[in-house]
Amino acid sequence: MIDARRADEIAQELIHARRDVRTVPQLSLRYPDMTVADAYAIQASWLRKMREAGHSLVGRKVGLTSMPMQRAMSIDEPDYGVITDDMVFEDGGDVPASVFSYPRVEVELAYVLRGRLSGPGVTEEDVLRATESIVPAIEILDSRIDMKDAATGHLRTIIDTVSDNAADAGMVLGSGRLAPEDFTARRVSAVLRVNGVIEETGVASAVLGDPTRAVAWLANKLSEYGQSIEAGEIVLSGAFSQSIPVRAGDDVHADFAELGTVSCRFC
Protein backbone atom coordinates (compact mmCIF):
# COMPACT_ATOMS: atom_id res chain seq x y z
CA MET A 1 0.00 0.00 0.00
CA ILE A 2 1.00 3.63 -0.41
CA ASP A 3 0.08 6.67 1.66
CA ALA A 4 -1.74 9.82 0.52
CA ARG A 5 1.49 11.77 0.13
CA ARG A 6 2.95 9.18 -2.23
CA ALA A 7 -0.31 9.04 -4.20
CA ASP A 8 -0.10 12.81 -4.69
CA GLU A 9 3.53 12.57 -5.81
CA ILE A 10 2.71 9.88 -8.36
CA ALA A 11 -0.28 11.86 -9.64
CA GLN A 12 1.99 14.87 -10.19
CA GLU A 13 4.51 12.65 -11.97
CA LEU A 14 1.77 11.47 -14.34
CA ILE A 15 0.61 15.03 -14.98
CA HIS A 16 4.16 15.96 -15.95
CA ALA A 17 4.44 12.86 -18.17
CA ARG A 18 1.22 13.84 -19.96
CA ARG A 19 2.45 17.41 -20.41
CA ASP A 20 5.84 16.28 -21.71
CA VAL A 21 4.36 13.48 -23.89
CA ARG A 22 6.42 10.71 -22.36
CA THR A 23 5.95 7.61 -20.26
CA VAL A 24 7.23 6.75 -16.79
CA PRO A 25 8.35 3.36 -15.42
CA GLN A 26 5.61 0.95 -14.40
CA LEU A 27 4.18 1.56 -10.95
CA SER A 28 3.47 -2.15 -10.56
CA LEU A 29 7.23 -2.78 -10.61
CA ARG A 30 8.20 0.24 -8.51
CA TYR A 31 5.57 -0.39 -5.84
CA PRO A 32 4.85 -4.14 -5.82
CA ASP A 33 2.56 -3.85 -2.78
CA MET A 34 0.31 -1.24 -4.40
CA THR A 35 -3.39 -2.12 -4.44
CA VAL A 36 -6.18 -1.24 -6.85
CA ALA A 37 -7.56 1.08 -4.16
CA ASP A 38 -4.17 2.84 -4.13
CA ALA A 39 -4.37 3.20 -7.91
CA TYR A 40 -7.80 4.82 -7.68
CA ALA A 41 -6.41 7.15 -5.00
CA ILE A 42 -3.73 8.24 -7.49
CA GLN A 43 -6.41 8.81 -10.11
CA ALA A 44 -8.49 10.87 -7.65
CA SER A 45 -5.44 12.97 -6.78
CA TRP A 46 -4.79 13.50 -10.50
CA LEU A 47 -8.34 14.82 -10.92
CA ARG A 48 -8.00 17.14 -7.92
CA LYS A 49 -4.81 18.58 -9.35
CA MET A 50 -6.43 19.07 -12.75
CA ARG A 51 -9.30 20.92 -11.11
CA GLU A 52 -6.87 23.09 -9.17
CA ALA A 53 -5.28 23.95 -12.53
CA GLY A 54 -8.65 25.19 -13.79
CA HIS A 55 -10.01 22.13 -15.58
CA SER A 56 -13.45 20.64 -14.99
CA LEU A 57 -14.83 17.10 -14.89
CA VAL A 58 -17.14 16.48 -17.86
CA GLY A 59 -17.55 12.74 -17.61
CA ARG A 60 -16.16 9.29 -16.97
CA LYS A 61 -15.20 6.18 -18.86
CA VAL A 62 -15.58 2.49 -18.23
CA GLY A 63 -12.76 0.30 -19.47
CA LEU A 64 -11.85 -3.38 -19.68
CA THR A 65 -15.47 -4.34 -20.30
CA SER A 66 -14.76 -7.51 -22.30
CA MET A 67 -14.01 -10.89 -20.76
CA PRO A 68 -10.82 -11.41 -22.83
CA MET A 69 -9.40 -8.10 -21.61
CA GLN A 70 -10.30 -8.89 -18.01
CA ARG A 71 -8.66 -12.30 -18.25
CA ALA A 72 -5.55 -10.71 -19.74
CA MET A 73 -5.38 -8.34 -16.76
CA SER A 74 -6.24 -11.09 -14.22
CA ILE A 75 -9.27 -9.16 -12.99
CA ASP A 76 -12.97 -9.92 -12.70
CA GLU A 77 -14.50 -6.48 -13.24
CA PRO A 78 -13.97 -3.38 -15.42
CA ASP A 79 -12.04 -0.27 -14.43
CA TYR A 80 -12.87 3.40 -14.80
CA GLY A 81 -11.30 6.77 -15.50
CA VAL A 82 -12.30 10.42 -15.71
CA ILE A 83 -12.75 12.83 -18.63
CA THR A 84 -11.79 16.48 -18.19
CA ASP A 85 -12.71 19.39 -20.42
CA ASP A 86 -9.34 19.45 -22.18
CA MET A 87 -9.89 15.87 -23.38
CA VAL A 88 -12.95 16.67 -25.54
CA PHE A 89 -12.49 17.10 -29.30
CA GLU A 90 -15.01 18.22 -31.93
CA ASP A 91 -16.74 15.84 -34.30
CA GLY A 92 -15.09 16.21 -37.70
CA GLY A 93 -12.30 18.31 -36.24
CA ASP A 94 -8.55 18.03 -35.91
CA VAL A 95 -6.87 16.20 -33.04
CA PRO A 96 -3.19 17.05 -32.46
CA ALA A 97 -1.29 13.76 -32.55
CA SER A 98 1.72 15.46 -30.97
CA VAL A 99 0.07 15.58 -27.53
CA PHE A 100 -0.07 11.76 -27.29
CA SER A 101 2.64 9.15 -26.83
CA TYR A 102 0.88 6.09 -28.30
CA PRO A 103 -2.59 7.16 -29.48
CA ARG A 104 -5.20 4.51 -30.23
CA VAL A 105 -8.91 4.79 -31.02
CA GLU A 106 -11.96 2.71 -30.12
CA VAL A 107 -15.71 2.95 -30.78
CA GLU A 108 -18.13 3.32 -27.88
CA LEU A 109 -21.58 4.53 -26.89
CA ALA A 110 -21.65 7.66 -24.73
CA TYR A 111 -24.48 8.14 -22.23
CA VAL A 112 -25.43 11.76 -21.58
CA LEU A 113 -27.07 11.95 -18.16
CA ARG A 114 -29.91 14.23 -17.13
CA GLY A 115 -30.18 12.71 -13.65
CA ARG A 116 -27.79 11.75 -10.87
CA LEU A 117 -26.78 8.12 -10.39
CA SER A 118 -25.67 7.27 -6.88
CA GLY A 119 -24.97 3.71 -5.77
CA PRO A 120 -25.05 1.19 -4.37
CA GLY A 121 -28.00 -0.60 -5.91
CA VAL A 122 -28.16 1.28 -9.22
CA THR A 123 -29.89 -0.88 -11.87
CA GLU A 124 -29.95 -0.76 -15.64
CA GLU A 125 -33.47 0.65 -15.42
CA ASP A 126 -32.16 3.44 -13.20
CA VAL A 127 -29.53 4.24 -15.82
CA LEU A 128 -32.08 4.43 -18.63
CA ARG A 129 -34.33 6.73 -16.60
CA ALA A 130 -31.37 9.02 -15.84
CA THR A 131 -30.12 9.10 -19.45
CA GLU A 132 -31.08 11.99 -21.70
CA SER A 133 -29.51 10.56 -24.84
CA ILE A 134 -27.00 8.07 -26.18
CA VAL A 135 -24.38 9.33 -28.61
CA PRO A 136 -21.84 7.64 -30.92
CA ALA A 137 -18.30 8.22 -29.71
CA ILE A 138 -14.65 7.64 -30.46
CA GLU A 139 -12.43 7.25 -27.43
CA ILE A 140 -8.77 8.19 -27.73
CA LEU A 141 -6.44 6.10 -25.61
CA ASP A 142 -2.88 6.85 -24.59
CA SER A 143 -0.27 5.73 -22.07
CA ARG A 144 1.62 7.79 -19.54
CA ILE A 145 3.11 4.63 -18.02
CA ASP A 146 5.32 2.17 -19.91
CA MET A 147 3.15 -0.48 -21.52
CA LYS A 148 6.10 -2.88 -21.41
CA ASP A 149 9.19 -2.69 -19.23
CA ALA A 150 12.24 -2.53 -21.47
CA ALA A 151 14.51 -4.47 -19.12
CA THR A 152 12.22 -7.32 -18.06
CA GLY A 153 9.48 -7.43 -20.66
CA HIS A 154 6.94 -7.05 -17.86
CA LEU A 155 3.57 -5.89 -19.18
CA ARG A 156 1.57 -3.24 -17.37
CA THR A 157 -1.03 -4.49 -14.90
CA ILE A 158 -4.37 -3.22 -13.65
CA ILE A 159 -2.41 -1.15 -11.10
CA ASP A 160 -0.79 0.76 -13.94
CA THR A 161 -3.91 1.21 -16.05
CA VAL A 162 -6.09 2.48 -13.19
CA SER A 163 -3.36 4.85 -11.98
CA ASP A 164 -3.03 6.08 -15.57
CA ASN A 165 -6.69 7.15 -15.71
CA ALA A 166 -7.69 3.86 -17.36
CA ALA A 167 -5.59 4.93 -20.39
CA ASP A 168 -8.14 7.63 -21.23
CA ALA A 169 -6.83 10.54 -23.29
CA GLY A 170 -9.81 12.01 -25.12
CA MET A 171 -13.20 11.58 -26.71
CA VAL A 172 -15.02 12.72 -29.82
CA LEU A 173 -18.83 12.77 -29.67
CA GLY A 174 -20.99 12.48 -32.77
CA SER A 175 -23.79 14.93 -33.49
CA GLY A 176 -26.42 12.20 -33.73
CA ARG A 177 -28.19 11.16 -30.57
CA LEU A 178 -31.20 9.11 -29.58
CA ALA A 179 -33.20 8.80 -26.39
CA PRO A 180 -32.66 5.37 -24.80
CA GLU A 181 -36.32 4.44 -25.21
CA ASP A 182 -36.07 4.91 -28.99
CA PHE A 183 -33.71 2.01 -29.66
CA THR A 184 -31.93 -0.94 -28.04
CA ALA A 185 -28.39 0.08 -27.14
CA ARG A 186 -26.93 -3.42 -26.99
CA ARG A 187 -27.90 -4.03 -30.63
CA VAL A 188 -26.01 -1.04 -32.02
CA SER A 189 -23.22 -1.93 -34.42
CA ALA A 190 -20.31 0.19 -35.57
CA VAL A 191 -17.76 0.15 -38.36
CA LEU A 192 -14.43 1.88 -37.67
CA ARG A 193 -12.46 3.13 -40.65
CA VAL A 194 -8.99 4.68 -40.71
CA ASN A 195 -8.10 6.43 -43.97
CA GLY A 196 -11.13 4.82 -45.58
CA VAL A 197 -10.09 1.26 -44.70
CA ILE A 198 -12.27 -0.83 -42.39
CA GLU A 199 -10.11 -1.64 -39.36
CA GLU A 200 -12.71 -2.87 -36.87
CA THR A 201 -16.38 -3.73 -36.56
CA GLY A 202 -18.32 -4.46 -33.41
CA VAL A 203 -21.64 -4.74 -31.65
CA ALA A 204 -22.39 -2.96 -28.38
CA SER A 205 -23.49 -6.19 -26.69
CA ALA A 206 -19.77 -6.99 -26.38
CA VAL A 207 -19.76 -4.50 -23.48
CA LEU A 208 -20.80 -6.66 -20.50
CA GLY A 209 -23.71 -7.91 -22.61
CA ASP A 210 -25.23 -4.42 -22.61
CA PRO A 211 -23.44 -1.05 -22.32
CA THR A 212 -26.21 0.17 -20.00
CA ARG A 213 -24.99 -2.47 -17.54
CA ALA A 214 -21.52 -0.90 -17.66
CA VAL A 215 -22.93 2.49 -16.62
CA ALA A 216 -24.78 0.86 -13.72
CA TRP A 217 -21.56 -0.90 -12.70
CA LEU A 218 -19.75 2.44 -12.72
CA ALA A 219 -22.32 4.14 -10.49
CA ASN A 220 -22.14 1.29 -7.99
CA LYS A 221 -18.34 1.12 -8.09
CA LEU A 222 -18.02 4.87 -7.52
CA SER A 223 -20.16 4.55 -4.40
CA GLU A 224 -17.36 2.48 -2.84
CA TYR A 225 -15.27 5.67 -2.96
CA GLY A 226 -18.05 8.04 -1.90
CA GLN A 227 -18.66 9.32 -5.43
CA SER A 228 -21.62 9.51 -7.81
CA ILE A 229 -22.22 10.19 -11.49
CA GLU A 230 -23.75 13.66 -11.61
CA ALA A 231 -26.44 15.03 -13.91
CA GLY A 232 -24.87 16.48 -17.04
CA GLU A 233 -21.92 14.11 -17.05
CA ILE A 234 -21.08 11.94 -20.05
CA VAL A 235 -20.16 8.28 -19.60
CA LEU A 236 -18.16 6.36 -22.19
CA SER A 237 -19.64 2.94 -21.57
CA GLY A 238 -16.89 0.70 -22.93
CA ALA A 239 -15.31 -0.25 -26.23
CA PHE A 240 -16.82 -2.77 -28.60
CA SER A 241 -13.89 -2.77 -30.97
CA GLN A 242 -10.21 -3.47 -30.60
CA SER A 243 -8.09 -0.35 -30.16
CA ILE A 244 -6.43 0.80 -33.38
CA PRO A 245 -3.13 2.75 -33.36
CA VAL A 246 -3.25 6.09 -35.16
CA ARG A 247 -0.75 8.78 -36.08
CA ALA A 248 -0.59 12.23 -37.63
CA GLY A 249 -2.36 12.31 -40.99
CA ASP A 250 -4.88 9.59 -40.16
CA ASP A 251 -8.58 10.19 -40.81
CA VAL A 252 -10.80 8.26 -38.40
CA HIS A 253 -14.47 7.64 -39.17
CA ALA A 254 -16.96 5.50 -37.25
CA ASP A 255 -20.42 4.62 -38.59
CA PHE A 256 -22.98 3.62 -35.96
CA ALA A 257 -25.88 2.94 -38.37
CA GLU A 258 -29.07 4.49 -36.94
CA LEU A 259 -27.08 6.52 -34.40
CA GLY A 260 -25.11 8.30 -37.10
CA THR A 261 -21.38 8.85 -37.50
CA VAL A 262 -18.45 10.42 -35.70
CA SER A 263 -15.06 11.35 -37.11
CA CYS A 264 -11.80 13.17 -36.51
CA ARG A 265 -8.45 13.74 -38.16
CA PHE A 266 -5.11 13.39 -36.39
CA CYS A 267 -2.86 16.22 -37.48
Q: Tell me what the mean pLDDT of segment 116-134 comes to.
A: 98
Asked if residues 225 and 60 have their Cβ atoms less than 8 Å apart, the reply is no
pLDDT at residue 71, rounded to an integer: 78
Q: Tell me what the mean pLDDT of segment 41-64 comes to.
A: 98
**Superfamily in which the 4-266 domain is placed by CATH:** Fumarylacetoacetase-like, C-terminal domain (3.90.850.10)
From the list 244, 12, 30, 51, the residue with the least C-alpha distance to 144 is 12
In the chain, what percentage of residues exceed pLDDT 70? Answer: 100
Please report, for the chain, the start and end positions of each structural domain, with discontinuous segments joined by +: 4-266
Q: Above 90 in pLDDT, residue 141?
A: yes
Task: Provide the whole-model pTM.
Answer: 0.96
Asked if residues 69 and 167 have their Cβ atoms less than 8 Å apart, the reply is no
Residues 174-228 pLDDT 10s: 999 999 999 999 999 999 999 999 999 999 999 999 999 999 999 999 999 999 9
Q: Tell me what the mean pLDDT of segment 51-59 comes to.
A: 98
